[in-house]
């Protein structure tokens, strides 16, 4: 299936499942080598990271845990457009090595927000892993410790990423057709 239509838009395959699995394996290998002996907790950021997190986690050979967090818009009168609160953090992460798992880092605004909130829980260190990274769109200077694949600044779907909620179930990554 080289082309798909999702809602009103056409998409074409840009990253095959073999390339995806290859990149995930390389990330896992690097983590397995880097993170030995640390008290680790992986934190997948929902919704987009669930597929990447599942594939990566299967290949992690360390003693570790995983949990999932979500960003929710503030409710009520204090609501301010872009500020989102991290919800679902029930574990004590004080003194631990937290590895944030993101599906994609685009501008980096989301990542910056997540990192600032996590620092408040006093982890030993925060490492960032993103499956996809758009270097041309990145506006922050937070170092990203693990990157799966760098991609151009185009809109993509599949492998957990959505267009208006759809397309997350696609096994390959698709780019908006021009
Ligand atoms: P940010 O610009 O780095 O804050 O990216 C915010 C979020 O936008 C990501 O976590 C994704 O959920 C979403 N996003 C960014 N680029 C894409 C894309 O190309 N396709 C689908 N979702 C995207
Ligand atoms: Mg996301």
pLDDT tens-digit series, residues 55-93: 999 999 999 999 999 998 765 544 445 678 999 998 899
At 79 the pLDDT is 45
Q: Report the nearest-CA residue for atom 15 of ligand 1.
A: 106
Supply the CATH number for residue 96's domain: 3.40.50.2020
Question: What does the block give as tokens for 150?
Answer: 């760098």
**Ligand 1 closest atom vs CA 162:** 21
Q: Is the CB of 107 under 6 A from ligand 1?
A: yes
Active-site annotation holder among 29, 106, 112, 164? 106
How many domains are contained in the chain?
Answer: 1
Q: Dihedrals φ, ψ of 126, to 5°? A: -120, 125
Within-domain flag for 4: no
Name the closest ligand to CA 14: 1
Segments forming the whole domain that contains residue 72: 17-150
Q: Residue 127: is it exposed, middle or buried by C-beta count within 10 angstroms (0-12/13-18/19+)?
A: buried
Contact 52, 24 (CB under 8 A): yes
Active site residue 162: no
- Distance between CA atoms of residues 150 and 63, nearest Å: 29
Model confidence, pTM: 0.95
Neighbouring CB atoms inside 10 A of 8's CB total: 7
Within-domain flag for 163: no
The rounded percent of the chain whose pLDDT value lies above 70 is 94
At 103 the pLDDT is 98
- Distance between CA atoms of residues 136 and 153, nearest Å: 6
- Distance between CA atoms of residues 73 and 37, nearest Å: 36
- Average of per-residue pLDDT values in the chain: 94
């Amino acid at each position: 299936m080289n082309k798909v239509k999702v809602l009103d838009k056409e998409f074409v395959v840009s990253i095959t499942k073999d390339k995806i699995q290859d990149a995930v394996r390389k990330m896992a290998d690097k983590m397995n080598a880097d993170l030995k002996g640390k008290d680790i907790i992986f934190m997948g950021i929902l919704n987009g990271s669930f597929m990447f997190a599942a594939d990566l986690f299967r290949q992690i050979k360390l003693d570790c845990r995983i949990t999932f967090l979500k960003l929710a818009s503030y409710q009520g009168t204090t609501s301010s457009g872009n500020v989102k609160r991290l919800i679902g953090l029930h574990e004590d992460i004080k003194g631990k090595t937290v590895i944030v798992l993101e599906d994609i880092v685009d501008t980096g605004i989301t990542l910056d927000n997540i990192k600032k909130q996590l620092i408040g829980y006093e982890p030993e260190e925060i490492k960032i892993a993103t499956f996809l990274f758009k270097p041309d769109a990145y506006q922050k200077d937070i170092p990203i410790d693990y990157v799966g694949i760098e991609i151009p600044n185009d809109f993509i779907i599949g492998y957990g990423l959505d267009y208006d909620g759809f397309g997350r179930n696609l096994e390959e990554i698709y780019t908006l057709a021009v």
